[in-house]
Amino acid sequence: MELPRRILIGYDVITELGSFIKDLGFGHKVLIISGINAKNLTEKIINESLSSYGLSYFWHTIDSATIDCVNQVVDVAKNHQSELLIGLGGGKSIDVAKLSAYYANLAFISVPTSASHDGISSPFASIKGMNKPFSLMAKSPVGVLADIALIANAPRRLLASGCGDLIAKMTAVKDWELARDEKGEYFGNYAASLARLSANLIIEESEKISKGDKDGVRDVVEALISAGVAACIAGSSRPCSGSEHLFSHALDILAPNIGLHGEKCGIGTIIMAKLHNLEWEKIATSLKKVHALTNAFEIGIDPDQIVDAILLAPKIRPERYTILHKLKLDRESAKNLAKSVNII
């Protein structure tokens, strides 16, 4: 079990990155992995903060989360004799940094600039170009620094995507319980409770989050970090990822580059909630309140691809038992299911 040693959440805390690194007790050579937009937004502040604490740093920008990018980062870290990797930005930068840190056996700090996903603090990374369409074990962050002022300025769609990834924990935990009851799989009650708590936040605070103010953004960021910690405690992505994530991964294959990860997970949660006899209408309403996309037409995916994704999902990970593995839906049943919850 590897958990973050320090988490700093606050307003304008990006200026404290240098002291944050020093307090964690790392060496002087830092490699910052970032997209170009995040770099342009924060470079001056971060350079001043790191320089003031005598830290040597090097920026490496990426434009996608591929295995080629990961290999490049590992080489750059080796060439610069880096002692610490920082993932700065959205999901791509953080995922590349954490998998690069895993391969290079270096410590990793997560500095998100948006609240679009639960990978902020989890030990799993989603990387393209691998032989698996789902998340891989990577490096848990030793520290997480989340600047709410910075994150609140990100596009609202990214925050809504984060809400979709959070609410997905409701069906993920139900799938985990199902695997425990029917397959004897290990089930961690504490990790499950932590993940469920993060999901319930979206149900209970959707009105507050919908306003887009900094307090609502902070709630989402804290919940995303807690969900990632739940995965660290469980030692697997089980408390955070179930049939709804398999559905999202299936859409990645069938309709690549359409929609954000959290948006597809949110839609998948509505579908799988119906199968688990949960209140899918309440889930859909909460997602709509936070301005998340909740059907095939809004996200721009063909209705037939939604049905195909429901059927493909259990084949993505045959060993991960979920409600879809149990029910073995046929095409007609999958189509009727998607229609019944207003996805198509």
User: What is the pTM assigned to this prediction?
Assistant: 0.94
- Averaged pLDDT for residues 299-313: 98
Q: How many Cβ atoms are within 10 Å of 94's Cβ, its own excluded?
A: 32
pLDDT in tens, 62-90: 999 999 999 999 999 999 999 999 999 99
pLDDT in tens, 145-162: 999 999 999 999 999 999
pLDDT in tens, 206-235: 999 998 788 999 999 999 999 999 999 999
Helix (H, G, I), strand (E, B) or coil at 230: helix
Question: Which pLDDT belongs to residue 270?
Answer: 98
Correct CATH for 6-152 of 3.90.930.12, 3.40.50.300, 3.40.50.1970, 3.30.930.10? 3.40.50.1970
Question: Which pLDDT belongs to residue 154?
Answer: 94
Q: What are phi and psi of 302, to 5 degrees?
A: -60, 135
Handedness of CA 9, 15, 17, 22 (dihedral sign): negative
pLDDT in tens, 232-263: 999 999 999 999 999 999 999 999 999 999 99
As a dihedral over the C-alpha atoms of residue 138, residue 142, residue 146, residue 147, rounded to 10 degrees, the angle is: -130
Burial of residue 330, with CB atoms counted within 10 A of its CB: 0-12 exposed, 13-18 middle, 19 or more buried: exposed
Residue 285 has pLDDT above 80, yes or no: yes
| Domain boundaries defined on the chain | 6-152, 156-340
Spatial CA neighbour of 17 closest among 90, 84, 105, 92: 84
| Mean pLDDT, the chain, whole residue set | 95
Of 50-59, 62-71, 129-138, the one with minimum mean pLDDT is 129-138
Residue 173 has pLDDT above 70, yes or no: yes
Residue with tokens 């359409």: 258
Percent of the chain with pLDDT over 70: 99
Question: Which pLDDT belongs to residue 280?
Answer: 98
Fold of 156-340: Dehydroquinate synthase-like, alpha domain (1.20.1090)
Question: Which pLDDT belongs to residue 1?
Answer: 72
91/175: higher pLDDT: 175
User: pLDDT category, 133, cuts 50, 70, 90?
Assistant: low
Helix (H, G, I), strand (E, B) or coil at 19: helix
Residue 132 has pLDDT above 80, yes or no: no
